[in-house]
Amino acid sequence: MPDILTAIWEALPFMLSGAWVNAVLIVGAMLVGLMLGVPLAVGQVYGCKPVRRVVQIYVWAFRGVPILVQLYLFYFGILAWASSIPWLGWAHLESPFLAAVLVLGLTSAAYQSQIFRGAILSLPAGQFKAARALGMSDATAITTIILPQALRLSIPGWSNEYSILLKDSALAFSVGVMEVMARTRAVASTTHQPLPLSILAGIIFFALTWVGVKALLALEKKVRIPGYSH
């Protein structure tokens, strides 16, 4: 028993810096997903037919292909190829971390776009109508009237997406990102104590989920529109 505790104690700093890797990974991926998911949702709701078609194909592709497969495709395929292009050499594209942020972010964009789309569609049609009646262009109406409301409504779905994506981020170890799972395996292979380390990994993921979900709940409360009782 003391052996186990010592193993955990000694591995703790190493494991916790892995938690930091997961945290940065997930924040990056959520932001990529947000920046891409919002225009995808707007395109799917308000776009012309070809735009809607493109968004649909995107969403199908990224929801349909497992993240593990995508990681291999991006790391060993697209990024390896891109980094062989001479004038892109400065960018150091052959990075497992970059591959993981991109794959998780692009996948999350597909899911997030559907969260935002649902939120946009749940707004009363009169909001857009009133904006147009005041002479607003569609772009102004979307950015000043529709999205501020839709994004508020998206926070609960977003917090769900965060907790799912966080656990998907463990897959990044498959291309060599030194996140919590990769470190668990590395330590376990030298200490031969996989069980306590797996428990520790579980606790770390749980804590990251808890912090993120609580933070988003606080955000939801902070931006709540006064007068609504829920």
Residues of the shown chain interacting with other proteins in the complex, contacts defined by CB under 8 A = 124, 126-127, 129-137, 140, 144-145, 148-149, 152, 225-228
80 contact partners, CB below 8 Å, separation of at least 6: 94
Q: Which is nearer to other proteins, 110 or 131 (CB)?
A: 131
CB of 194 to other proteins, least distance (A): 50
Q: Which is nearer to other proteins, 147 or 197 (CB)?
A: 147
CA–CA gap between residue 171 and residue 45 (Å, rounded): 32
Other CB atoms within a 10 A radius of the CB of residue 63 amount to 11
Q: Which is nearer to other proteins, 50 or 126 (CB)?
A: 126
Q: Which is nearer to other proteins, 132 or 167 (CB)?
A: 132
Q: Which is nearer to other proteins, 23 or 131 (CB)?
A: 131
CB of 140 to other proteins, least distance (A): 5
Q: Which is nearer to other proteins, 46 or 97 (CB)?
A: 46
Task: Kindly list the distances between the CA atom of residue 50 and the CA atoms of 43, 47, 53, 56, 142, in Å, as whole numbers in the listed order.
Answer: 10, 8, 5, 10, 20
CB of 152 to other proteins, least distance (A): 7
45-48, Cβ contacts within 8 angstroms, sequence gap of 24 or more: 45/117, 45/120, 45/121, 46/138, 46/142
CB of 141 to other proteins, least distance (A): 9
CB of 135 to other proteins, least distance (A): 4
One-character DSSP codes across 123-179: S-HHHHHHHHHTT--HHHHIIIIIHHHHHHHHHHHHHHHHHHHHHHGGGGGGGT--S
CB of 40 to other proteins, least distance (A): 22
CA–CA gap between residue 142 and residue 133 (Å, rounded): 14
Other CB atoms within a 10 A radius of the CB of residue 65 amount to 13
